A and B are shown apart, each in its own frame.
Chain A
Amino acid sequence: KAGVTQTPRYLIKTRGQQVTLSCSPISGHRSVSWYQQTPGQGLQFLFEYFSETQRNKGNFPGRFSGRQFSNSRSEMNVSTLELGDSALYLCASSLPSGGSTDTQYFGPGTRLTVL
């Protein structure tokens, strides 16, 4: 079974621009979660989507948004980019079965650099 895929793998943008990242989950997985990884803050949860609905959101400004399509693919968008948005953005997919035991499987990430 193919793993989680993320596109693009690398992005360079300038301050003030916006960016869209894409994530294709493992076939059959319906939940997609997004995380931001930075050296200073570590891994932080952005949001989670299930059946095209955002069920959970982390503590990020409204410039960070996402959506999920009927085939479970997900996109996240960051508007008005700031230097501090430079990070590795990871998405993860899971079935889910509904409890805390679900395992999340991660993609390789998109490395975003904001100049």
Chain B
Amino acid sequence: GDSVTQMEGPVTLSEEAFLTINCTYTATGYPSLFWYVQYPGEGLQLLLKATKADDKGSNKGFEATYRKETTSFHLEKGSVQVSDSAVYFCALSDHAGGTSYGKLTFGQGTILTVHP
């Protein structure tokens, strides 16, 4: 079945540091890939998405490139801010054979803490 593996956390960085959160996936079909962010006490917010190989999703300084050859979708940001402190989830949507309607498969989440 489908699965998503994220790098172990938590990740602690100083403000303006470079961020990478690794994400790899296993999928039956040709999935779409997503990064969601969850702030304390809130639901998930879509950060970015990519729907085909070599697509780059970007938003608010975050970027991730859909790499089919390495089945990866790593999240990067050049300079993090304290306000980026949150939990980040990598997810995939795979409609192979029409058996996965409305289902996102999530990684375990990575807690990011940014210190001033």
Q: How many Å from the CB of A42 to the closest CB on chain B?
A: 5
Q: Is the CB of B104 within 8 A of A45?
A: yes
From 73 to 116 in chain B, residues with beta carbon under 8 angstroms from any chain A beta carbon are 89, 93-95, 99-109
Is B44 part of the binding interface, using a Cβ–Cβ cutoff of 8 Å? Answer: yes
User: Main SS of the interface on chain B?
Assistant: loop
**Majority DSSP secondary structure for residues of A touching B:** strand
A101 contacts B by Cβ under 8 Å:
yes
**Contacts known (A100-B32, A100-B95); A56 close to B43, Cβ less than 8 A:** no
The answer to whether residues A102 and B43 also contact, given A45-B104, A55-B101 and a CB cut-off of 8 A, is: no
Contact B29 A50 (CB under 8 A): no
Q: Are A103 and B46 in contact (CB under 8 A)?
A: yes
**Residue A33 interfacial (CB < 8 Å):** yes
5 closest A-B pairs by beta carbon, nearest first, are A48-B102, A106-B43, A100-B95, A43-B106, A55-B101
